[in-house]
Structure 1
């Protein structure tokens, strides 16, 4: 009896496997590496965030680094308040009540920090290559950090990073003189969009989304580092803490490489 049951189960397994293989019999599959997610949970005017971002700007430049997907997620709180307004229509003696939800984001270091967070988010929105937006953040941190949150400062930093203030777009992008002038105009148009984003609804939406992501991860300390969606380290009071794998640039590079060996996807 035992043999019969075992044989039946084996037969079913073979049929199931054959059916699965048949679906993709003539379709090759590819195993692809996925970028390693690296998230720094930060506050733009926080000294610990500045220390953390400085370290990871070096990590991101390390030789032999696998493909990565770095992001900044901002720490704050979100308040939602409902307000209701009732209006009377005298012609029908009926009333209409309208409810409005007002959303507000609070940042630990005040409105300037919320503005600084938004400037960084909007710059990344239009310059998504981390080799561009990371220098924007680190330059903002190192140049005149007390001005983080000022719109004029964000624009000055952006122009400095993109080479517009030094008039070195040609060298920065390795372009011929005529092409460099055209590219300069394109960059200036993008910077206008960054400014519009920072001062408008889109920037606010990006900030709310980012803060909500931080809340969803249960993070409240700037700076908290996640590598491959796992908590890796914390900078608190200027000191690296909770870093079982070490806290040097080499340690973080090693962790990223280890994560890269585990992250992949199969596509048919």
Structure 2
């Protein structure tokens, strides 16, 4: 059960509260309000352990979805476009799930829907890291996204982990490793990747490093080839065969 909102606390105090909870508990179940900063934590060793985002191998076509874990547009985008397209052409793409946030001056991240969303992002990034087959981590992410309002409640995460053969303990270890430094590092790197791509809206789908389609405000925009699943499948197939 989520704790009541604590909007009266100062941002720094909120960030420290989140960090402390991550150190002591399995996952964060608290929601403090929007634009809370998760600052940089951890040792140089923790920093160097961060893997780079997956890169395309051979002639696989880069396909990337930039989302926020507690965003309704992400739910529509994954359900109606990304997931059904991946079911048809998963062997032709190098798929990456990246996250949208605001990098801060202290090397932190501000999440639009608060630290609950930051934790949801971290959980989904850990799933991608530990289970790199998109059939697993994308399915798990879609399971969470169907009930995005409940992210990051433990019961939801456990149920989705069980459904997609993900070890909850490994997921939790990743999110809380090194006093939460590892998970925050994953999120910071993902947010930085999104910022460098010039992406600001959830959900933005990029194909071959170019914006393919955007789902924003309940509508599809900037989709010159169309927002349909078959449109994306055809576009991927053409690039794969080129």
Does TM-score exceed 0.5, indicating one fold?
yes
Shift of 1:150: 2.6
**Which has the larger share of strand?**
1
Does structure 1 residue 37 correspond to structure 2 residue 62? yes
Contact 1:66 1:256 in 2 (8 A): no
- The yes-or-no answer on 1:76 pairing with 2:133 is no
How is 1:181-260 mapped onto 2 (pairs within 5 angstroms)?
188=167, 191-199=168-176, 200-260=180-240
How many positions carry a matched residue from both structures?
182
Please state how far the C-alpha of 1:246 moved relative to its aligned partner.
0.9
2:131 corresponds in structure 1 to 127
Q: Which runs of 4+ in 1 moved over 3 A?
A: none
| RMSD of equivalent CA atoms | 1.7
Among 129, 141, 146, the alignment partner of 1:137 is: 141
In structure 1, distance between residues paired with 2:149 and 2:190: 23
What CA distance in whole angstroms lies between the structure 2 residues aligned with 1:65 and 1:197?
26
1:85-100 aligned within 5 A: none
Q: 1:152 to 1:105 in 2, by over 3 A?
A: farther
Query: Deviation of residue 152 (structure 1)?
Result: 4.2
* Counterpart for residue 26 of structure 2: none
- Residue 84 of structure 2 corresponds to residue 58 of structure 1: yes
Deviations 1:8-49 (A, max 9, x none): xxxxxxxxxxxxxxxxxxxxxxxx952111011111111111
TM-score, scaled relative to structure 1: 0.64
Match 1:109 to one of 113, 118, 135:
113
Aligned equivalents of 2:238, 2:134: Cα separation in 1: 21
Shift of 1:69: 1.0
Q: What are the superposed Cα offsets for residues 221-263 of structure 1, whole Å, 9 maximum, x if unpaired?
A: 111110011111111111111111111000010111111123x
Gaps of 5+ in 1: 1-31, 82-102, 163-186, 263-268
Q: Do the aligned residues in 1 keep the contact of 2:92 with 2:236 (CA within 8 Å)?
A: no
- Name the TM-score, length of structure 2 as normaliser: 0.71
Deviation at 1:156, TM superposition (A): 2.6
Change over 3 Å in CA distance of 1:157–1:34 after alignment to 2: same
Rounded to whole Å, the distance in 1 between the matches of 2:238 and 2:163 is 35
Does structure 1 residue 156 correspond to structure 2 residue 159? yes
Gaps in structure 2 of 5+ consecutive residues = 1-56
In the alignment, what sits opposite 2:27? none
**Structure 1 residue 66 displacement after superposition:** 4.6
Give the Cα–Cα distance (whole angstroms) in 2 for the partners of residues 158 and 218 of structure 1. 32
Using the alignment, how far apart are the partners of 1:80 and 1:152 within structure 2? 34
